[in-house]
Structure 1
């Protein structure tokens, strides 16, 4: 077991208070802090801290001893690369509207851009690496998001409820074809509208949304979201696209899994996110960054329906969030006031990253090593380490998250 020193990403949509407070630093921070990265991503790898306080990049540690750090099953599949990245995400403002590619799409897109000689750090690069980027986000606070296409008939009801005359032909388009093809046609129409057409249509939509909110209509939350996005991104086609997506409010502990092709954006709140160790993002609006419409349309999945919200499979005080992704699996461990301080065992043989987000937790290995984590601290557990037993340290409520590889990966069991 080793303590980790992790990197903070200062994106403009981040919070000046959340991550700084969690890490015990000065609040407010001098600039927005959006993501705390825990892992071995080449862009911002964590550092392992030894007993003398000396730091070494986790990337270097993995390269020197991949089997000992990751285990033979992981190295057989992913080499010396840790397949997952854990984040604490603090969204004060909406992120860009985006989707991520499948493994096949990512490999093809990366090879194409390599042949074209696009620098990997270039602003117009879609595929800085050749891997997929599925992700799971689990709310720490009330967490607001748009994710996945809503059932078309409900979207037709929404569009008709907002009563924007200029939208009538678009509503008819989806009403006549309430399926994947209809969603693709409408989304493609909106995202490719010329700027003069957007500049005329979006203000009419916002005016209609104001009226709907004043009347406390059925789609008040969706209209409030459109108004917020329209204020931040005037004349952006992503404001229209937001009308097509499920509007979600996650309570703490609730999570959603975002597979390849899922169109989404996070609006506001704090969460733990675990994802495949990739930077591949196709943007669809709500951003000044590069938007490649043809490539986005190539990777989007126009399947529709309610997003499945998970609370985790209960295993004692532990909750495990199962997904189809082989790269990762997330567990949440909590001890609340007045509940038994039950021990939780994490079996050896797997690479793990654990972060304490509330309270203090004691980690004791069967070989006698002990580490204690307080809020904001994290640790690396190599595959070669023995079993570790977790117990609360003190009487305050404790909340801990642990990430490892998926339980279906190469026959690995994460329990």
Structure 2
């Protein structure tokens, strides 16, 4: 497969280039390697299934020409004639925006309402690009830092109180007087909707207090330091204050986070393999110059509080480690073919995508010669090609539907 890179400003100039064996640093930031059949940047199939010398074929077109053969009848019955997941390699050198994704019901209703209103699909103020939810999983390839979900209110009260910032007192009272989901909602709502005349002096005071507390070696130094970094990159943005209400999570390589509907999150830095339902629906909450629809965001957000479960892969046979999630659209596994006596058999009944992140793998199927997939490269295995076996001294991520 040939895959496209999206060059967002927050991307790394080294991570994706090194993965792909290209010169570093790259000329421009490289943020996301898209692998799949999203209409915005579909992968192209090179060789496999095509006559020698023929032009690469879009995976979208390949699936459209034979949905049942490429996706399998069960996936077509469940999701229709489009690949239900999108796989990415994400490389963040700077923080992404605060964002959340809707439930399936919210997405369907929101998309229908904006269609009825005649809002252009590419309009800056458009919230819903399709009628699907967007659960996602991020698996760390390097140490990976993120903000994810709302912290336990008692800890947040302690964190804010330790700042010793008088300008925060009236807002702190919203949470200390009601240290639960409702108090978290009230405080977040006050922050995200604050007019600039009130926000700017409050931000200045909070950032000055963060400087003092970092120097003092507070137990919340990591959170205060993150706030300072966000304040420098996004001056005057309410998301800088909102970040103080959230869990700051550090993933070690191979650990993962599952982000369901309504989870407010922002990736801060690191490289990871990301898989998600094939959707573009994003409700932003700050740390961005893009459109923020506060009422719609508040309707979508899940204000559950507490620590975020970090997912460690579980063994699923020789050389196979699986990341359990409730998603039906996708499943992700890590494969170490050399740890299995005869390699790993890829016997899923639906579509499969292979991504090699280290070493070189060989795919053995019906063809006389195995397909060699080196580091940074990918391969598409349609549902009607059963019994493919993968071997080699390699680290491989396998993406499938979750059926």
Partner of 1:405: 401
Distance 1:334 1:163, change over 3 A: farther
8 A Cα contact 1:256 1:308, kept in partner: yes
Partner of 1:320: 322
1: CA distance, partners of 2:332 / 2:347 = 15
8 A Cα contact 1:226 1:242, kept in partner: yes
TM-score (structure 2 length as normaliser)? 0.96
Partner of 2:15: 18
1: CA distance, partners of 2:223 / 2:342 = 42
2: CA distance, partners of 1:342 / 1:276 = 32
Partner of 1:49: 46
8 A Cα contact 2:97 2:284, kept in partner: yes
Partner of 1:110: 111
1: CA distance, partners of 2:342 / 2:224 = 45
2: CA distance, partners of 1:341 / 1:88 = 29
Residue 345 of structure 1 deviates from its aligned partner by 1.4
Residue 163 of structure 1 deviates from its aligned partner by 1.4
Match status 1:371 vs 2:367: no
CA deviations on 1:358-387 (whole Å, 9 max, x unpaired) are 111111126655211111100001000011
Runs ≥4 residues deviating over 4 A: 339-342, 366-369
Within a 5 Å distance, the mapping from 1:299-314 to structure 2 comes to 299-314=300-315
Within a 5 Å distance, the mapping from 1:163-174 to structure 2 comes to 163-174=164-175
8 A Cα contact 1:341 1:392, kept in partner: no
8 A Cα contact 2:337 2:344, kept in partner: no
8 A Cα contact 1:348 1:384, kept in partner: no
2: CA distance, partners of 1:178 / 1:359 = 50
Residue 212 of structure 1 deviates from its aligned partner by 0.9
Q: Gaps (5+ residues) in structure 1? A: 410-415
Match status 1:62 vs 2:63: yes
8 A Cα contact 1:69 1:382, kept in partner: yes
CA deviations on 1:292-326 (whole Å, 9 max, x unpaired) are 10110010000111111111111222111111111
1: CA distance, partners of 2:91 / 2:264 = 20
CA deviations on 1:268-311 (whole Å, 9 max, x unpaired) are 00000000000000001100111110110010000111111111
8 A Cα contact 1:148 1:262, kept in partner: yes
Within a 5 Å distance, the mapping from 1:279-290 to structure 2 comes to 279-290=280-291
Partner of 1:176: 177
Distance 1:237 1:389, change over 3 A: same
8 A Cα contact 2:361 2:373, kept in partner: yes
Partner of 1:413: none
Match status 1:5 vs 2:7: no
8 A Cα contact 2:13 2:27, kept in partner: yes
Partner of 2:202: 201
Match status 1:389 vs 2:386: no
Residue 133 of structure 1 deviates from its aligned partner by 0.4
Q: Gaps (5+ residues) in structure 2? A: none
2: CA distance, partners of 1:387 / 1:312 = 24
Within a 5 Å distance, the mapping from 1:186-335 to structure 2 comes to 186-315=187-316, 316-334=318-336
8 A Cα contact 1:349 1:385, kept in partner: no
SS of the residue corresponding to residue 389 of structure 2 reads: strand
Match status 1:351 vs 2:351: yes
TM-score (structure 1 length as normaliser)? 0.93
Partner of 1:75: 76
The CA RMSD over aligned residues, in Å, is 1.4
SS of the residue corresponding to residue 292 of structure 2 reads: coil
Distance 1:32 1:314, change over 3 A: same
More displaced 10-residue stretch of structure 1: 226-235 or 22-31: 22-31
Residue 22 of structure 1 deviates from its aligned partner by 1.3
Within a 5 Å distance, the mapping from 1:110-149 to structure 2 comes to 110-149=111-150
Distance 1:28 1:341, change over 3 A: farther
SS of the residue corresponding to residue 169 of structure 1 reads: helix
Residue 80 of structure 1 deviates from its aligned partner by 0.9
